[in-house]
Amino acid sequence: MTLQNLPADVQAFLAPAKLNLMLHITGRRDDGYHLLETVFTFIGLYDTVYLRCRDDGDIVLHTLIDGVDAEQDLSVRAARILQQASGSKCGADVWVEKRIPMGGGLGGGSSDAATVLLALNHLWQTQLSREALMALGLQLGADVPVFIFGRNSFASGIGEELSELSIPNQWYVVVKPDVHVSTPKIFAHERLTRDSAPSIIRVFPRVQPLRNDMQAVVCEEYPEVAKALAKLNQFGHALMTGSGACVFLACETEAAAREVCAQVATEYEAYCVAGLDQHPLSTLK
Ligand code: C5P
């Protein structure tokens, strides 16, 4: 069963992408994980996760990603972790329709996993709290909890200490350079800045320009990212999201974003998207 011939009884759940509007690295834990401060915003670029309950307890992913074993897929791992934590005997058929570029710092895989946790908690009626789901999500990756939290956030710790943040309504042009950045390689880089001062107050930083502490090292290692940044910087102050490779520019209006997007789309895979006030599943119970 492919995405073209889905059974009639599947249910669809959205998984939005995120941007890191700033990212500061403030230290390193004993286990090697980095302490950071970041602002997450959800954006109107979505994968869709289709789910159907199974009685036999199996978790079956019907949309395999090239080179990723089904059991390693974050969506499958999310379903299994929920089965274990809740003791549910239910299984699920899973289809993921990808629109969020993979490996781009947009959180697509993490968001899919969060949507699986939220949606199966609902469909299986396992009734775990959001806090419990966030703790499960953290086992899958540092970027998973924010999608379960469901609000634009200021994050600290390794990205799991979250407080809701109000972010001005903005549009974004997101550009995907044709390169894959290795997140572990960048976090392990000897020239990565790890000593940014922690913030005192958790508000959307008004001090411009915002920065991403991983950007300099990524640009050094992946000139394609530097090139895409230079292109977007012609129109304003562009920034990399997460550990890249995607870069973005915030615009005040849709018209301004569309104009910039049209100009960069001749050379790059580019998206013109609105910031979201909240995650589309933020009220799912
Ligand atoms: O959590 P996630 O699987 O996305 O992290 C991928 C890798 O990035 C980790 O194995 C770790 O090496 C590094 N990382 C880090 N500090 C973080 C998040 C990730 O060092 N806060």
**CA contacts within 13 A on the Cβ side of 243:** 19
242: part of which helix (H) or strand (E)? none
Residue 194, exposed/middle/buried by CB under 10 A (0-12, 13-18, 19+)?
Answer: middle
Indicate whether 143 pLDDT > 80: yes
**Distance in Å, CA 105 to ligand 1 centroid:** 12
- For the cut 80, the answer to whether the pLDDT of residue 202 exceeds it is no
Q: Residue 176 catalytic?
A: no
Of residues 208 and 246, the one with the higher pLDDT is: 246
Lowest mean pLDDT segment, chosen from 31-45, 54-68, 70-84, 193-207: 193-207
Q: Model confidence at 40, in pLDDT bands (50, 70, 90)?
A: very high
Q: What is the value of pTM for the model shown?
A: 0.95
Mean pLDDT of 12-17: 98
Query: Distances in Å between the alpha carbon of 81 and those of 75, 118, 138, 237, 255?
Result: 10, 12, 11, 40, 43
More reliable by pLDDT, 201 or 217: 217
Distances, alpha carbon 139 to alpha carbons 111, 144, 183, 271, in Å? 14, 9, 17, 30
Q: Say whether pLDDT at 190 is over 90.
A: yes
Q: Is the CB of 275 under 6 A from ligand 1?
A: no
Give catalytic status of residue 285 as yes or no: no
Give the model's confidence band at 204: pLDDT under 50 very low, under 70 low, under 90 confident, else very high: confident
Please indicate whether residue 145, judged by its CB atom, sits closer than 6 Å to ligand 1.
Answer: no
- Give the pLDDT score at 2: 79
For residue 37 and ligand 1, the question of a CB distance below 6 A is answered with: no
Beta bridge partners of 161: 156
pLDDT of residue 173: 98
Statement: residue 42 has pLDDT above 70? yes
Who's near 144: CB < 8 A, 6+ residues apart? 74, 78, 110, 113, 114, 117, 134, 137, 138
Distance 34 CA to ligand 1 centre (A): 7
* 73 close to ligand 1 (CB < 6 Angstrom): no
Determine the residue of 156, 187, 196, 212 to mutate for testing ligand 1's pocket, defined as the one with the most ligand atoms within 8 A of the Cβ atom: 187
Mean per-residue pLDDT over the chain, rounded? 95
For residue 36, give the ligand 1 atom closest to its CA. 21
When pLDDT is averaged across residues 48-64 and rounded to a whole number, the result is: 97
> For a pocket test of ligand 1, which of 31, 33, 218 has the largest count of ligand atoms closer than 8 A to its C-beta?
33
Burial of 2 per CB tally in 10 Å (0-12, 13-18, 19+): exposed
Q: Which atom number of ligand 1 is nearest to the Cα of residue 157?
A: 21
The residue to mutate among 183, 186, 189, having the most atoms of ligand 1 within 8 angstroms of its beta carbon, is 183
pLDDT of 7 reads: 92
Q: How many whole angstroms from 16 Cα to the centroid of ligand 1?
A: 20
**What confidence tier does 124 reach under pLDDT thresholds 50, 70, 90?**
very high
Cβ neighbour number for residue 275 with a 10 Å cutoff? 18
Which one of the listed residues 47, 93, 112, 143 is annotated catalytic? 143
Residue 206 has pLDDT above 70, yes or no: no
Token code pair at residue 278: 């909240």
Most distant CA atoms of the chain, gap in Å: 56
Write phi, then psi, for 25 (nearest 5 degrees): -100, 120
Residue nearest to atom 19 of ligand 1 (CA): 33
What pLDDT is stored for residue 90 in this prediction?
98
Q: Is the pLDDT of residue 68 over 90?
A: no
What value does the mean pLDDT take over residues 62-85?
Answer: 93
| CB neighbour class for 245 (10 Å; exposed up to 12, middle 13-18, buried from 19) | buried
List the residue whose alpha carbon is closest to atom 21 of ligand 1.
158
pLDDT at 208 over 70: no
| 209-245 per-position pLDDT tens digit | 789 999 999 999 999 999 999 999 999 999 999 999 9
pLDDT for position 132: 98
Q: What's the average model confidence in pLDDT over 259-276?
A: 98
Q: Is 187 close to ligand 1, i.e. is its CB under 6 Å away? A: yes
